[in-house]
Amino acid sequence: MTESQIKSSLSGLENGNQKLENQGDPIQISTFNFPLPKTNVAIKGYATLDYSLVIVRLLLGLTVAAHGAQKLVGWFGGYGYEGTMWFFTETIGLPYVLALAIILTESLGMIAFAFGLFTRFLSTSLIVIMLGAIFTVHGQFGFFMNWEGNQGGEGFEFHLLVIALAAVTAIHGAGAFSFDNLLFKRKSIQQNVA
């Protein structure tokens, strides 16, 4: 097929001759520009990923922040800072600094996460925290939550869901509608040029 035949067959398509936006340099083949896979590609249809990332960030961030508020200030029936620190340091045996980092990550960190600030760092931190919770406390109670009250504690199904959602944002980042995008976009463009 010749280039003129390709052009005529694509005349009805919207993006046939438009340049695809990307933070990387495009590779031009005939009338198409194929972006190098570096980050999210801003083409029609891919915006749904950015909307999905907002939903993941808001729901995961605010859900875990509510658990963090239980640990930090005792809201929603939690034990508050002193009770949680006692449990983490005395019962589980975590170092004080690690226990403090968990409480701050699950509370203040998840509010930042919901707004898309330091998303990849907080996602990775949350994955580590949830794995730690499974191996230190919840793994012994099996998979399921304690809905009926007949187990000795809560299972780890919640933790697996948190890990899965945090992995999405660890891989894809915060998306276009985030503070990460506003603060670090210019820097990432400069890095790709170099």
pTM score? 0.71
Secondary element (H or E) of residue 29: strand 26-29
Mean pLDDT computed over 136-161: 90
pLDDT at 37 over 60: no
d(CA 67, CA 58): 14
Residue 146: closest CA among 130, 134, 158: 158
pLDDT at 61 over 70: yes
pLDDT at 16 over 50: no
Task: Give residue 44's pLDDT.
Answer: 52
pLDDT at 118 over 80: yes
Could you tell me the two tokens for 62?
């605010």
d(CA 72, CA 80): 5
Residue 158: closest CA among 64, 51, 66: 64
d(CA 120, CA 126): 10
Any idea what DSSP says for residue 10? T
pLDDT tens track for 69-114: 999 999 999 999 999 999 999 999 999 999 999 999 999 999 999 9
d(CA 74, CA 77): 6
Task: Give residue 23's pLDDT.
Answer: 46
Secondary element (H or E) of residue 165: helix 157-172
d(CA 83, CA 73): 10
pLDDT tens track for 127-138: 999 999 999 999
Burial-class residue 27 by CB neighbours within 10 Å (0-12, 13-18, 19+): exposed
Task: Give residue 33's pLDDT.
Answer: 47
Mean pLDDT computed over 161-166: 97
- Look up residue 30 and give its amino acid: S
Residue spans per domain, the chain:
48-193
Task: Give residue 111's pLDDT.
Answer: 98
